Structure 1
Amino acid sequence: MTGTPTAFTAGDYEARMRRAAEAATAAGLDGLLVAPGPDLVWLTGYRPVETERLTLLVLRAGQDPVLVVPTLEAPDAAAAAPTLTLRDWTDGKDPYEATASLVDAGGRFGVSDNGWALHLLGLQKRLPDSRYVALTDALPMLRAVKDAAELERLAAAGEAADATYEEIRKVPFGGRRETDVAADIADLLRQFGHSQVDFTIVASGPNGANPHHEAGDRVIERGDMVVLDFGGLKHGYGSDTSRTVHVGEPDAEEREVHDVVRAAQEAGVAAVRPGAACQDVDRAARAVVAEAGYGDRFIHRTGHGIGVTTHEPPYMIEGEEQPLVPGMCFSVEPGIYLPGRFGVRIEDIVTVTEEGGWRLNTTSREMAIVD
């Protein structure tokens, strides 16, 4: 995919806000309170600076959305979200007074997960009988099902991550620090169109046994297994892919572990189909790892949703019975981690279609040999 996708329209955002407000009512809520962060971006297209000053979108079914915003940020808010009604407040005034009349004194509201405790406690103090629930608990699938325009953006981000992997395989690994390779990955992600790089995991040798290892000063050696996991945002939507490469020829055990993870990843993707539960994907991947004798070395969930952030619902984990529906996008990323030795992880972003799972990452999952 090339070019820039068509921008979302005011009508697109209005439809999302209306759908969210209706979903809140169906969930027994009196409305939603949305702070700056991914939910606000998805609902309105507005991405304000996140500071101690209160910014809050109030959504209620049958009422116009209202954005409470600091006066000094009102011009930017009006330009980014021209259909919103703004209620501004100035420094030195009580922002919760500006909000209180929009919220029922005894109402129950969903609050976006990344809202500041400072603001929620301030609102509770103003309205002590009001009640609040985390948005992920109340409406976990609010952003989970992507429309065609969102899938286009996710596919573009996936293609850019794939292009990055193909190029990073060509650079020297041995004798360089993990941070050097991580910097190369970040540069490539930007070169292929990412506006934001969120993470560049380069975990060599024993560091690979830590799933979230931060690239450090360890010098990569010949004979190392190296876990690569990277992603960010392109056109506002996320990429996230993992491959495990080897510096020079691997030994038999390293090949075996990599083959097990690759088979587990294939099984997880094969389990993706409409009507299956999220936990079915986890079970399918985990069964392969357990059968090979490494069950206690697969120490994280099999996957997470992705969209305007790289981690969001749904989650592929035991106990999550949410059924898969077409348009959901999530990672499938089993791993095996052997402390003090090495780790292996393979990850693709997969979207649910009527026929099953469609990978948004298409690079080879065979072990790549690098210099």
Structure 2
Amino acid sequence: MVSRRVGQARRRLEAEGARVLALPPGDDLFYLLGYTPHPDERPCYLFLTQEEALFLVPELNAAEAAAHVPFPTITYTDAEGPGGALREAHRRLGAPPVVAVGDTMRADALLLLQELWPQALFIPGARVMAPLRTVKSAEEIAALRRAAATADAAVEAVFAAVRPGVREVELKRVAEDALYDAGAQEVPFATIGVGANSAFPHHTTSTAAAKAGEPILVDLGSRVDGYMSDITRMAFLGSPPARYLEIHALVEEAVCAALETIRPGVPIREVDLAARQVIERAGYGGRFTHRTGHGIGISVHEAPSITHTNERPLEVGMTFSVEPGIYLPGEFGVRLEEIVVVTAQGPQILSRLPRDLRVL
């Protein structure tokens, strides 16, 4: 797999007119190697050209990396710093006119490369890597499905733990424990929003307590075998009023409209527009403040972006979220999220949890 993916990256590198691809620790590196070292302030790079591959790594990570990185390696100690190792990389790689750098590279690590190759034009590494990662293999989809199962279990655990007075942070801990118990190897996020906090699309979980007569938004994600889950579901503590039920039903209608649009060859923009038009017709267009979805894989947010400006056609194997929402500041918000795989027959939803409002 490593040789195949490295070969694909080299072909993309050539197509973009770049001489060197420089990747830091992170998701792009994991995609190529099935491994990424711990990211910190110490510079670390995989350098890839048409002829060479070179791994520059701090000495404290070198032993672990040796078992995963099948390329020549240059190391440096904390006392030495990376200067000598970078000069050796320059000696081996020469002076490239164009360098593609990984999008998540730290600014200080990028500045070192700009000092190393002052004559080079630096371009986003996503131009090389994103096209490789957008369409998933059967093995990748299987990993996403395993991750989705852990997310389903965690949502159920959170709903079972909701009672008047329980704090968001306590429910977050329930979610994290449930994700690990279900097989997650990492829990990048677990967001709980009670009451008016559910109206913040990216709420930071707080010490706010659940109250009767209020909704609870649960948005969480786990990593299994390198691949992510992401799900959002809603519950209500007590009997929901008509206004809440109206908004929940609108968001569900928007999800269904988007799902009905998904099939190979359809422009991505149509998925966003299908959901957005439902909400706009009901008069809440200004309260749907984000895109309909994002790609998902090794990263929780990756290509494709499900916006009304994306003209790219859907392809079999694309995986992304469908998550319209309506947010009413000071009152509540409703978002429902599915992760889907594009198949020849249409969308395949990875979660097995219904989107029905859970009344607690």
- Residue number among 39, 42, 45 corresponding to 1:50 in the alignment: 39
In the alignment, which residue of structure 1 is the partner of 2:61? 73
* Structure 2: distance between partners of 1:331 and 1:102: 43
Equivalent residue, structure 2, for 1:361: 351
- In structure 1, what residue type is equivalent to 2:91? S
Letter in 2 for 1:70: P
Deviations 1:267-304 (A, max 9, x none): 11222111122222111111111111110000011111
Using the alignment, how far apart are the partners of 1:362 and 1:289 within structure 2? 25
Distance 1:283 1:102 in 2: 50
8 Å CA contact 1:110, 1:138 repeated in 2: yes
Q: After superposing the two structures, state which structure 1 stretch, 85-94 or 312-321, moved more.
A: 85-94
Tell whether the 8 Å contact from 1:58 to 1:67 is kept in structure 2 after alignment.
yes
Question: Within 1, Cα distance between the matches of 2:92 and 2:355?
Answer: 52
**In 2: Cα distance, 1:45 partner to 1:333 partner:** 29
State the partner residue of 2:125. 135
Q: Counterparts of 1:354 and 1:165 in 2: how far apart (Å)?
A: 30
CA distance in 2 between partners of 1:125 and 1:283 (Å): 45
Please give the secondary structure, in 1, of the residue aligned with 2:222.
strand
Query: TM-score scaled to structure 2, two decimals?
Result: 0.95
Matching residue within 251, 275, 294 for 1:285: 275
Determine which of 297, 314, 318 is the counterpart of 2:304: 314
AA partner of residue 210 (structure 1) = F
Contact conserved, 2:150 with 2:222, CA < 8 A, in 1? no
Q: Deviations over 1:291-342 (max 9, x none)?
A: 1111000001111111112111111012122222111111110000000000
Tell me which amino acid in the other structure corresponds to 1:88: T
Structure-2 residue corresponding to 1:160: 150
2:231 corresponds to 1:241: yes
Q: Shift of the alpha carbon at 1:135?
A: 1.8
Structure 1 distance, partners of 2:307, 2:122, is: 26
Q: Distance in 1 between matches of 2:99 and 2:345?
A: 37
The residue that corresponds to 1:330 in the other structure is 320
Structure 1: 5+ residue stretches without partners:
1-11
2:26 corresponds to 1:37: yes
- Deviation string, structure 1 residues 50-96 (Cα, Å, up to 9, x no partner): 122221111123x2422122234222111122x22223334425132
What secondary structure does 1:193 align onto?
Answer: coil
For structure 2, the residue ranges without an aligned partner over 5 or more in a row are none
**Contact 2:53–2:72 (8 Å) recurs in 1:** yes
Aligned ranges for residues 2-21 of structure 1 at < 5 Å?
12-21=1-10
RMSD: 1.5
Deviations, residues 146-182 of structure 1 (Å, cap 9, x unaligned): 1111111000111121122233322233221111111
Contact 2:16 2:127 in 1 (8 A): no
The match for 2:180 among 186, 190, 199 is: 190
Query: Could you tell me which residue of structure 2 aligns to residue 100 of structure 1?
Result: 90
In 2: Cα distance, 1:324 partner to 1:21 partner: 25
The answer as to whether partners of 2:19 and 2:96 remain within 8 angstroms in 1 is: no
Which stretch of the first structure deviates more once superposed, 276-285 or 349-358? 276-285
Range with greater deviation from structure 2 (146-155 or 65-74): 65-74
Deviation at 1:104, TM superposition (A): 4.6
- Aligned: 1:253 with 2:243: yes
Contact 2:199–2:333 (Cα < 8 Å) also in 1: yes
Aligned residue pairs total 357
For 1:85, the aligned partner's letter is P
CA distance in 2, matches of 1:124, 1:219: 49
Partner residue of 2:206? 216
Q: Name the CA distance, whole Å, in 1 between partners of 2:240 and 2:181.
A: 31
Q: 1:176 aligns with which of 148, 151, 166?
A: 166
Find runs of 4+ consecutive structure 1 residues off by over 4 angstroms.
none
Q: Would you say the 8 A contact 1:146–1:328 is kept in 2?
A: yes
Instruction: Tell me which residue corresponds to 1:4.
Output: none
